[in-house]
Structure 1
Amino acid sequence: MIFEDLPTTPTSEELIDKAFSRAARAGKAKGGLEAQQSMLQTAANIISDNLENVVTAWPDFEYEDDVHPFYYELADAIVDVDKLRQSLSEVMWASRKAREIHEEYQPKLRKTDVDTARKHRKQAFARLADIVEQVDDELIYINKSRNDLRDLPEINPDEPTIVVAGYPNVGKSSFVNDVTNARGETASYPFTTRGIGLGHFERDHIRYQIVDTPGLLDRPPAERNEIESQAVSAIEHLADCMLVMIDPSAECGYPLASQLELRDSIAAQFEEVPVLTIANKVDRKDVWDESLTDELDADYTMSVETGEDVETVLEAAVEAVDYEPKLPFEG
Structure 2
Amino acid sequence: MIFEDLPTTPTSEELIDKAFSRAARAGKAKGGLEAQQSMLQTAANIISDNLENVVTAWPDFAYEDDVHPFYYELADAIVDVDELRQSLSEVMWASRKAREIHEEYQPKLRKTDVDTARKHRKQAFARLADIVEQIDDELLYINKSRNDLRDLPEINPDEPTIVVAGYPNVGKSSFVNDITNARGETASYPFTTKGIGLGHFEHDHIRYQIVDTPGLLDRPPAERNEIESQAVSAIEHLADCMLVMVDPSAECGYPLASQLELRDSIAAQFEEVPVLTVANKVDRKDVWDESLADELNADYTMSVETGEDVETVLEAAVDAVGYEPELPFEG
User: In the alignment, is the contact (CA less than 8 A) between 1:26 and 1:38 conserved in 2?
Assistant: yes
Deviations 1:229-260 (A, max 9, x none): 00000000000000000000000000000000
2-side partners of 1:285 and 1:49: how far apart? 70
State the secondary structure of the residue aligned to 1:164: strand
2-side partners of 1:301 and 1:257: how far apart? 17
1-side partners of 2:330 and 2:25: how far apart? 56
Deviations 1:293-330 (A, max 9, x none): 42310000000000000000000000000000112328
Q: What is the Cα deviation at residue 111 of structure 1?
A: 1.3
1-side partners of 2:330 and 2:297: how far apart? 41
Q: What is the Cα deviation at residue 152 of structure 1?
A: 1.2
Residue segments in structure 1 that go unaligned for 5+ positions in a row: none
Deviations 1:143-177 (A, max 9, x none): 01101111112100000000000000000000000
Deviations 1:59-111 (A, max 9, x none): 00000000000000000000110010000000000000000000000000001
State the secondary structure of the residue aligned to 2:284: helix
Q: Is 2:134 the partner of 1:134? A: yes
2-side partners of 1:32 and 1:296: how far apart? 88
Q: Is 2:27 the partner of 1:31? A: no
Partner of residue 13, structure 2? 13
In structure 2, relative to structure 1, the CA distance for the partners of 1:291 and 1:83 (3 Å cut) is same
The percentage of aligned residue pairs carrying the same residue is 96
1-side partners of 2:117 and 2:281: how far apart? 83
Deviations 1:200-256 (A, max 9, x none): 000111000000000000000000000000000000000000000000000000000
Q: What is the Cα deviation at residue 291 of structure 1?
A: 5.5
State the secondary structure of the residue aligned to 1:314: helix
User: In the alignment, is the contact (CA less than 8 A) between 1:182 and 1:197 conserved in 2?
Assistant: no
Q: What is the Cα deviation at residue 290 of structure 1?
A: 6.7
User: In the alignment, is the contact (CA less than 8 A) between 1:249 and 1:285 conserved in 2?
Assistant: no
User: In the alignment, is the contact (CA less than 8 A) between 1:243 and 1:276 conserved in 2?
Assistant: yes
State the secondary structure of the residue aligned to 1:200: strand
* More displaced 10-residue stretch of structure 1: 151-160 or 163-172: 151-160
State the secondary structure of the residue aligned to 1:215: coil
2-side partners of 1:287 and 1:310: how far apart? 19
In structure 2, relative to structure 1, the CA distance for the partners of 1:330 and 1:234 (3 Å cut) is farther
* More displaced 10-residue stretch of structure 1: 79-88 or 182-191: 182-191
Structure 2 length-normalised TM: 0.98
1-side partners of 2:324 and 2:23: how far apart? 58
1-side partners of 2:68 and 2:330: how far apart? 21
Displaced runs of 4 or more, over 4 A: 288-292
* Equivalent residues in 2 for 1:70-81, closer than 5 Å: 70-81=70-81
Q: What is the Cα deviation at residue 187 of structure 1?
A: 1.1
2-side partners of 1:11 and 1:275: how far apart? 48
* More displaced 10-residue stretch of structure 1: 211-220 or 286-295: 286-295
Deviations 1:26-62 (A, max 9, x none): 0000000000000000000000000000000000000
User: In the alignment, is the contact (CA less than 8 A) between 1:176 and 1:182 conserved in 2?
Assistant: no
Q: What is the Cα deviation at residue 4 of structure 1?
A: 0.8
Partner of residue 165, structure 1? 165
1-side partners of 2:153 and 2:139: how far apart? 24
Q: Count residues in correspondence.
A: 331
Q: What is the Cα deviation at residue 271 of structure 1?
A: 0.6
Q: Is 2:48 the partner of 1:48? A: yes
Structure 1 length-normalised TM: 0.98
Partner of residue 320, structure 1? 320
In structure 2, relative to structure 1, the CA distance for the partners of 1:144 and 1:318 (3 Å cut) is same
1-side partners of 2:273 and 2:297: how far apart? 18
User: In the alignment, is the contact (CA less than 8 A) between 1:101 and 1:128 conserved in 2?
Assistant: yes
State the secondary structure of the residue aligned to 1:208: strand
2-side partners of 1:26 and 1:328: how far apart? 55
State the secondary structure of the residue aligned to 2:286: helix
